Chain A
């Protein structure tokens, strides 16, 4: 396992970096603008997921080009690579992989330190606290990236510190392996 961590660390060092505040403020203004444009927070979540899907389908190519990691044998390996290498080289965080379901088809990523949500306080209009998943773009990225690797998953947030929950938890559920030849639904 330490070879993966080392690979991640080395790849992270070679990546070009962007100023964190610029990145966070850009993402924050995207979410704020979406909230202004759409009445329902559920719709905002969906838009963020779609944006993430577009990012993920393209990001996975960059990921494979940089890390040259081979095929994962099972979901556990996928989860491990996702958290130790994937999140590490793009966001410099390593979420913990926990809460495996009994049949090993679902797991949770616990983000202790979510850079997208720095400085953010959800609007106090009574609905944002219950309906908005601020970092929902990450769900789309995971779904899009894995779909390009023929693995279909569902990803959604179950808790978020911005809502007052104790931790930020993202649940990833394996649906099926995609057969060759299915058209990719690039919305």
Chain B
């Protein structure tokens, strides 16, 4: 099972991106997307932003479950109060784990923006953040 996580800022600019695979049942954590499908994944996520934007006003929850499907890829979304969107592309349904993952990711994100050295809405380049996201991915997905 492979995942692509993108954090998108309020102006639709990507702030952080991570590809990873599952660490469960013998997986080694590397993504296994088909080579030809990999560039498509980013397009798929980008186009799902439109759907997310429509759903923002319908539902007051931060975590939206699966918002879109494309071939066999599901897109789950989580929207923060500042209109920052966490999009996760995955090929299996796993609502509970993804929900906890996105909620914990939200807490990591909050800590990052509280850092006085972090420029608002700038790409997140901290290696500490990257390490923690990977650890979170290993833990839940």
On whether A119 and B117 interact (CB within 8 A), knowing A124-B126, A124-B127, the answer reads: no
B90 → A minimal CB distance (Å) = 29
Asked whether A177 is an interface residue with its Cβ less than 8 Å from the other chain, the reply is no
Judge if B115 is at the interface, Cβ distance under 8 Å. yes
Give every chain A residue within 8 A of B125 (Cβ-Cβ). Answer: 124
- On whether the beta carbons of A123 and B111 are closer than 8 Å, the reply is no
The CB with the most chain A CB atoms within 10 A, among B112, B115, B128, is that of B115
Chain B proximity mask over A101-140: 1 for CB below 8 Å, otherwise 0: 0000000000000000011111110000000000000000
Q: Is the CB of B116 within 8 A of A120?
A: yes
Judge if A25 is at the interface, Cβ distance under 8 Å.
yes
Interface residues of B in 95-141 (CB under 8 A from A): 111-112, 114-118, 125-128
Complex CA distance for A32 and B119, rounded to whole angstroms: 10
A3 within 8 A of B: no
What residues of B have a CB within 8 angstroms of the CB of A29 in the complex?
Answer: 116
Complex: A119 Cα to B125 Cα, angstroms: 16
Asked if A120 and B115 make an inter-chain contact with CB atoms under 8 angstroms apart, the answer reads: yes
Query: Are B111's CB and A120's CB within 8 A?
Result: no
What is the CB-to-nearest-CB distance from A154 to chain B, in angstroms, rounded to a whole number?
A: 27
Min distance, Cβ A44 to any Cβ of chain B, angstroms? 12
Contacts of B111 in A (CB 8 A): 119
Residues of B near A31 (CB, < 8 A) are 116
- Minimal Cβ-Cβ distance residue in A for B117: A123
Once bound together, how far apart are the Cα atoms of A120 and B111, in whole Å? 9
Q: Does A54 contact B (CB under 8 A)?
A: no
A94 to B35, CA, bound (A): 57
Instruction: Write the nearest CB–CB distance from B133 to chain A, whole angstroms.
Output: 14
Q: Tell me the minimal C-beta distance from A175 to chain B in angstroms.
A: 33
Nearest CB in chain B: distance from A146 CB, A: 28
Most buried by B among A25, A120, A121: A121
Q: Are A122 and B117 in contact (CB under 8 A)?
A: yes
A32 to B118, CA, bound (A): 9
Task: Provide the residues of chain B in CB contact with A32, threshold 8 Å.
Answer: 116-117
For residue B128, which residues in chain A have a CB less than 8 angstroms away from its CB?
A: 121
B89 to chain A, nearest CB (A): 28
The interface bits of chain A over 18-57 (1 if a CB of B lies within 8 angstroms of the residue's CB, else 0) are 0000000100110110010000000000000000000000
CB-CB nearest in chain B for A122: B117
Q: Tell me how far the C-beta of B125 lies from the nearest C-beta in chain A, rounded to whole angstroms.
A: 7
Q: Which residues of B contact A119 (CB under 8 A)?
A: 111, 114-116
The 10 closest A-B pairs by CB, nearest first: A28-B116, A119-B114, A32-B116, A123-B117, A121-B115, A29-B116, A32-B117, A119-B115, A121-B126, A120-B115
Residues of B within 8 A of A (CB): 111-112, 114-118, 125-128
Beyond the given A35-B117, A118-B114, could you list 4 further A-B residue pairs with CB under 8 A, ordered by the A residue number?
A: A32-B116, A119-B115, A119-B116, A120-B116
A-B contacts, 20 listed (Cβ < 8 Å): A25-B114, A28-B115, A28-B117, A31-B116, A32-B116, A32-B117, A35-B117, A118-B114, A119-B114, A119-B115, A119-B116, A120-B116, A120-B117, A121-B112, A121-B115, A121-B117, A121-B118, A121-B126, A121-B128, A123-B117
